[in-house]
Structure 1
Amino acid sequence: MNSREIIVNVLGNVFNEKAYSNIVLNKTLNKAEISAKDKAFITEVVYGTVKYRYTIDVILSHYVKKGFKSVEPYVLNVLRSSIYQIRYLSKVPDFAVVNEAVELSKKHSSGKVAKFVNGVLRNYLRNKDEEYVKGNIEDILAFKYSFPRWMVKFFMNDFGKEKCEIILKGLNQVPGVTVRVNNIKKSYEQAYSELSELGYTIEEGEICPEALRIIKGKSIENNPLFKEGCITVQDESAMLVGMVMDLEENMTVIDLCSAPGGKTTHMAEIMNNTGKILAFDIHENKLKLIRDNSERLGINNIEANTLDASEFHEDLEGVAHRVLMDVPCSGLGIIRKKPEIKWNKNKNELKDLVNIQRKILKNGSRYLKKGGILVYSTCTLNKEENEKNINWFLKENPEFKLEKIYVGDLDNLIYHQEGYVTILPNKYMDGFFIAKLKKS
């Protein structure tokens, strides 16, 4: 199977079966006996085609006169990946893209289909500079940044035009790699020095004291510092959660939605492996990720168990100094890592999540000791799931007060008057929301 066949098969899984691009891509590439160069090409085209699907489909609709339903899904994904290469990649000559697409179509289907594919792509090449979208600002932004129109309107309503465009641009960035230095095993200076000696180009993180950015270098998972548990991959937005919790040694902490354990292990490191962290998740199979991460990082103060956070558990009432609820959310802030979220989410799903989030908030607040701190976080940019949930909770629970969060001055941080913070996405930080509440 050649590179372009793999690309089309992976796209079929993502678009037609709603698979996660990163999972299906990793599984496929691990099995394939191909060069590192081919793997990089496949990765680039798959993520690029998923990311720019809206724009690509608008273009294709001009040349597929009978509509997409007249084209079998496999052939449609041949066309999508080809338009992506022609429009967004300069390293592959246009004629080569067309020839490969035609050969792939012949192999999969009839000569008639191959002729159709050839005609569509050559039509596009003749009209590459055509202005495909005219109309209002939402249509223009949807085409320019390749987001479904409802999502553009959604961000525009919540953030206004200027910030909406910043968000769309940020969510299309290729994510940079950031690692967190594990202070239990290695100092920041030692990790920095050893990574440099191993040939990595690195720089300090933007805002978190434990953060290191990998600018250039081999896969982090194969790095000896990673294998020894001296570093772990984590986005800086996620690191901020542990930073704002005012953690101290020997505390009891509850993490209600903890898998895969990035924030859980960060809290353990901040507490110098003392005290106790009760890490819960509803899925038993995900707890292994927490335990494996803890073992690699040399952490032994985490107890991982299954628990449905949307149900109240009497035995946990009033036991914790700190409670973290990084709740299940729509994930609109992490589209740069999971671009299929653009196509797999709809407005109705966003509303369904709010009820679950409020149940978790209500239950988690009861596990806190008096004077304790509760941190609520999401990786989404939806005010219904963020600000409105917190405002609802405060009305229902007057014994809680918002604590002001301040972590530094960055262009992508929005400090709200009430005290919570919204993080807009960019190359090194996911879109995020964090609120900190104290129980009086």
Structure 2
Amino acid sequence: RDRAFVAETTYDIVRWKRLYAEIAEVKAPFDRDNIWRLFAVWATLKGIKLPDWKYFESTPSRKIKGKFDELSKIRKFKESIPDWLDELGEKELGNDLWTKEIAALNLQADVVLRVNTLQTTKEKLQAELFDLDIETETLPNYPDALKLKERTNVFTTDAFKNGHFEVQDASSQLVAEFLNVQSGMRVVDTCAGAGGKTLHIATLMQNKGQIIALDIYGNKLNELKRRAKRNGAFNIETRAIESTKVIKKLYDKADRVLIDSPCSGLGVLRRNPDAKWKLQPEFIEDIKKTQQEILQQYSRIVKPGGQLVYATCSILPSENQNQVNEFLTSEFGKEFTFVKDKKVWAHESGYDGFYMALLQKK
């Protein structure tokens, strides 16, 4: 319980760092005294009684609450985000949508599991966890998802060790389904990483057919191999992208291609609150160039009549539909037609922000 309290307090202070620092009248980088001041602001606003320590002797509780009310009228302080990010969000999404979305992205994320249907069923897993006093609930429109009713460490359970589930946000679970895979297909996951979506694709294909998981980071693919073994997913082959030859060998070979593209990660701020402070506008500009390059190159893996999904965990149109539109008007993109896309908003779904577009090769 103490560990959970420390973790949640730390997450909270990181999430609201700008707001708390403004109230405490301290500036980064924070020394020890300043960190105690931030903690005092956090505790006061949470209604938690401060201990009788010298650090908290002159904590001005009324002033803290008054300043909080005053700053809560200004979005960049209320949502505790850098000026540039607030300006970018409003420019791309408009005032109303950005206001709703950034508020939702500051809420604590639920823990959602994806049932590994290669090993068990949703009902069996629910019962297995219930026997361990871990209560879950099903989610309508998310066929393989179970949400924990209370946060707890599920990684120590036999159910996890035996590959009965993976922890995966509900929005992320929509991507593999959007790819429209069938047993026996050849599927290439081009930015597989540690393979959360790759493993989901394997279950949707019922382990029949071939999945080729690519990534530029070999260590991530090693993690994917470990997870695949635990999951009982044996139709996955990993290949590190050490040169363009790896991609060229696959041109026109795949029924389905997933490009789970690198992005700003703005849709997953709830679980990575420190990203607000690490992100820089230059990084977003660079990543947009990378996204287009990846689309241009990896799309050539799709065989005629095959389909491609471009997905990001960003909410910015410039990383999402604008990238798809730019691709479709390019030389290689003209070989594709737009089928459909899906914008997943955190403030509507209650889960991470995501984007996915389905394209068909002529």
For Structure 1 versus Structure 2, the TM-score category normalised by the shorter chain is over 0.9
Amino acid of the structure 2 residue aligned with 1:93: K
User: Deviation per CA, 1:215-270, whole angstroms, max 9, x where unpaired?
Assistant: 13642112221111111111111111111111011111111110111000000010
Cα contact 1:181–1:187 (8 A) shared by 2 = yes
User: Deviation per CA, 1:382-417, whole angstroms, max 9, x where unpaired?
Assistant: 22111111110000122211112xxxxxxxxxxxxx
2: CA distance, partners of 1:365 / 1:217: 40
1: CA distance, partners of 2:261 / 2:342: 16
1:99 equivalent to 2:53? Answer yes
Counterpart residue number, 2:64: 128
Cα contact 2:139–2:147 (8 A) shared by 1 = yes
Amino acid of the structure 2 residue aligned with 1:101: Y
What are the equivalent positions in structure 2 for 1:263-282 lying under 5 Å apart? 263-282=197-216
Counterpart residue number, 1:172: 106
Deviation (angstroms), 1:56: 0.9
1: CA distance, partners of 2:318 / 2:244: 18
2: CA distance, partners of 1:428 / 1:131: 29
Between the aligned residues of both structures, percent identity stands at 30
User: Deviation per CA, 1:125-154, whole angstroms, max 9, x where unpaired?
Assistant: 24123246869x9x7112222222322222
Cα contact 1:181–1:212 (8 A) shared by 2 = yes
Give the TM-score of the pair, scaled to structure 1.
0.77
The RMSD of aligned alpha carbons is 2.3
User: Deviation per CA, 1:84-117, whole angstroms, max 9, x where unpaired?
Assistant: 2222x33x313x1x72636xxxxxxxxxxxxxxx
1: CA distance, partners of 2:76 / 2:30: 25
Deviation (angstroms), 1:80: 2.0
Give the TM-score of the pair, scaled to structure 2.
0.92
- Is the partner of 1:195 in helix, strand or coil? helix
What are the equivalent positions in structure 2 for 1:6-405 lying under 5 Å apart? 37-61=1-25, 68=27, 73-87=31-45, 89-90=46-47, 92-94=48-50, 96=51, 99=53, 101=55, 122=59, 124-131=60-67, 140-216=74-150, 218-307=152-241, 313-396=247-330, 397-404=333-340
2: CA distance, partners of 1:172 / 1:371: 41
Deviation (angstroms), 1:73: 3.0
Cα contact 1:323–1:365 (8 A) shared by 2 = yes
Cα contact 1:241–1:434 (8 A) shared by 2 = yes
Amino acid of the structure 2 residue aligned with 1:267: I
2: CA distance, partners of 1:59 / 1:43: 22
- Is the partner of 2:129 in helix, strand or coil? helix
Amino acid of the structure 1 residue aligned with 2:38: R
User: Which has more radius of gyration?
Assistant: 1
Cα contact 1:310–1:363 (8 A) shared by 2 = no
1:431 equivalent to 2:353? Answer yes
User: Deviation per CA, 1:408-438, whole angstroms, max 9, x where unpaired?
Assistant: xxxxxxxxxxxx2211115851111111100
2: CA distance, partners of 1:227 / 1:243: 25
Amino acid of the structure 2 residue aligned with 1:431: G
1: CA distance, partners of 2:140 / 2:282: 36
Amino acid of the structure 1 residue aligned with 2:343: T
Cα contact 1:245–1:436 (8 A) shared by 2 = yes
- Larger mean CA deviation between 75-84 and 206-215 belongs to 75-84
Structure 2 residues without counterparts, runs of 5 or longer: none
Counterpart residue number, 1:12: none
Structure 1 residues without counterparts, runs of 5 or longer: 1-36, 103-117, 405-419
2: CA distance, partners of 1:100 / 1:251: 66
2: CA distance, partners of 1:330 / 1:272: 32
Cα contact 2:314–2:355 (8 A) shared by 1 = yes
- Is the partner of 1:221 in helix, strand or coil? coil
